[in-house]
Amino acid sequence: MSDKPRVLIVDDVEVNSKILAACLKGKYEMTIARDGQACLDIAITSPQPDLILLDIEMPGMNGYEVCKQLKNNSLTMNIPVIFVTANDREADEEKGLLLGAVDYITKPLRPLIVAARVNTHITLKQQHDQLLALATHDQLTGLYNRHYLFHGGGKKIAYAVRHQLPLSLAMMDVDYFKVINDQHGHPTGDAVLQAIAQLLGSQCREEDIVARFGGEEFIILFEHSDLTHANKKAEKLRNMIEQLEPEGLIVTMSFGVVQLEQKDSNLDDMIARADSALYCAKETGRNQVIGV
């Protein structure tokens, strides 16, 4: 996959798309959409575009409506949109900016201006993404941090309750982690946590939330998963971790697993029940999964 920033060009006139692509040739990975619906479909597909160049006058759904839908969708709301149009009236530009566009380029196009404005907004988007990653991810493991767990987890609980869908949570803890730090040193302990985090992240789905809860504790929110499925997934992870042998050490983990219930008013309630199950797993032998 290319490391170049991704630009989506949306224009129903082929020659216009080619002109825009020529202005940006070499610096970006470009995709073309011929109508508004195609733009919306591409925008939610991974990897998402880093910026959208959007024509206003298109058959069917015009650019204003496309922009409105992009900004109303949590999956696409942070993608910067630049309108590219022959409409040079101040009122048209104001309308576009009020809908959430970051810029407004009028035709006839000036290649150097197009390239400069796209570069500016791509740079701002990259800086925003970097700051967001720092705010939502754990520095040591690269997993989501506690702050994001509660933010994203609250949304998943609300969605599961609203649509009556199953949601499960696994809380896990590295067995005898203090012994690892004491006998082998904190750098080794950090390497163990990093190896476990990499395994957890690689084995979970994109819709799940995998987070470092603190210290040697991790939490996974399994979307669309009942307790039976979550227990099976946790048991698979427990077995894989036992075989992982990070830094040449045999490392095990204990798991407490719960499913969202009516009495759970928020994520704290699920975590409290999972913590109790985890405590039981620790007290009755460690290196096991207990689901309640």
Mind listing the pLDDT tens digit for each residue in 158-170?
A: 999 999 999 999 9
Question: In the block, which residue shows the tokens 């809860």?
Answer: 213
Specify the range with the lowest mean pLDDT, choosing from 86-90, 190-194, 258-262.
86-90
Q: Is 0.85 topped by the overall pTM?
A: no
Mean pLDDT of 72-84: 94
For helices 227-244 and 186-203, what crossing angle results, to 10°? 140
Cα separation, 84 vs 11, whole angstroms:
9
Q: Give the class (CATH, top level) of 146-291.
A: alpha beta
Which pLDDT band, with edges at 50, 70 and 90, does 87 fall under? Answer: confident
Residue 78 and residue 83: Cα distance in Å, rounded? 15
pLDDT of residue 89: 87
State mean pLDDT over 202-227.
96
Q: What is the pLDDT of residue 197?
A: 98
Catalytic option among 57, 90, 207, 216: 216
pLDDT of residue 46: 87
pLDDT, average across residues 48-77: 94
Please check the confidence at residue 128 and state whether its pLDDT lies above 90: yes
Q: Where exactly does CATH 3.40.50.2300 map onto the chain? A: 6-135
Q: What is the mean pLDDT of the chain?
A: 95
Identify the pLDDT of residue 1: 56
Contacts of 114 (CB under 8 A, 6+ apart): 20, 23, 24, 84, 105
* CATH 3.30.70.270 domain range(s) in the chain: 146-291
What pLDDT score was predicted for residue 86? 87
Q: Is pLDDT above 80 for 171?
A: yes
Query: What is the topology classification, in CATH, of domain 6-135?
Result: Rossmann fold (3.40.50)
CA distance 44 to 72: 13
Give me the residue label for tokens 């810029």. 103
Assess whether 29 carries a catalytic annotation. Answer: no
- Decide the pairing of beta strands 167-174 and 217-223: antiparallel
Q: What is the mean pLDDT of residues 245-249?
A: 96
